[in-house]
Amino acid sequence: MQPLVSLWPLLGIAALVIGFLLRFNPVLVVLLAGLVTGFAAHMPLADILEKLGSGFLNTRNLPFILLLPLAIIGLLERHGLKERAQAWIATIKTATAGRLLIIYLLVREATAALGLTSLGGHPQMVRPLLAPMAEGATKNRYGELPAEVRYRLRAMSAATDNVGLFFGEDIFVAFGAIIFMHNFMLESGGIHTEPLHIALWGIPTAVCAFIIHALRLRRLDRKLAAELSALNQAALQQKEGR
């Protein structure tokens, strides 16, 4: 007969949720959750403090690694990164938001398939470069953009990055999900597979995802052309009527 598993240590998760909902200091919330979990598991105080201290030492460089790129991107934005990206894309007369995002989707999927998942991303690529360039290409064709159109372009830029990363990394043989599927099928069903074969079967899915999202981006171009042309025509007629 298997021994019963105590669920009391899960109170630490409740402490995390409550602390974040009440917007307490994150460091204090995590510390309190660790203490609650340790006491619920009947750990001595010395062991709890030892675990908290070792965890801090093992991750003390993590905030520096995460915050340094954000600080660099913020500094670049302060000195006109968005404006320069928009000015550059405006020099390409044939550029549209849809075409730009299709090219980015292709590059994002291809690099993610090679394991280079950090080359893109929302904070380091979408916000400072991709979304401003999509807005700049549309503004270059139709003039000033309504706020609703700007938000739509930003959302589609973020979605394009998500699609490229999600379906591209499934082709990378060393991706964690592929190893997980290999181990799960082997241990649960006794199905012997090779991680390389699982990765190769991700290629048709990635190709279909690229085609489907590229068609969505082409439809976005057509929809924006119809909407913004109608808005510009209405504004011109109103100006002539005066």
Phi, psi of 192 (to 5 degrees): -90, 120
Query: What pLDDT band is residue 59 in, cutting at 50, 70 and 90?
Result: low
> So what's the pLDDT on residue 54?
78
Query: What pLDDT band is residue 101 in, cutting at 50, 70 and 90?
Result: very high
Cα angle: 155, vertex 125, 216; to 5 degrees: 35
Q: What is the average per-residue pLDDT within 112-140?
A: 88
Residue 82 has pLDDT above 90, yes or no: no
> So what's the pLDDT on residue 30?
83
What is the value of pTM for the model shown? 0.69
Q: What is the average per-residue pLDDT within 169-196?
A: 77
Residue with more model confidence, 142 or 58: 142
Residue 5 has pLDDT above 70, yes or no: no
> So what's the pLDDT on residue 23?
82
Whole-number Å distance between alpha carbons of 96 and 140? 9
Query: What pLDDT band is residue 90 in, cutting at 50, 70 and 90?
Result: confident
Mean per-residue pLDDT over the chain, rounded: 83
Query: What pLDDT band is residue 178 in, cutting at 50, 70 and 90?
Result: confident
Q: Distance of CA 113 to CAs 75, 79, 117, 181, Å?
A: 30, 33, 8, 17
Residue 63 has pLDDT above 70, yes or no: no
> So what's the pLDDT on residue 154?
94
Query: What pLDDT band is residue 241 in, cutting at 50, 70 and 90?
Result: low
Q: Which helix (H) or strand (E) holds 6?
A: none
Whole-number Å distance between alpha carbons of 128 and 18? 34
Residue 204 has pLDDT above 80, yes or no: yes
Query: What pLDDT band is residue 1 in, cutting at 50, 70 and 90?
Result: very low
> So what's the pLDDT on residue 181?
75
Whole-number Å distance between alpha carbons of 112 and 160? 13
Residue with more model confidence, 65 or 236: 236
> So what's the pLDDT on residue 84?
79
Residue 143 has pLDDT above 90, yes or no: no
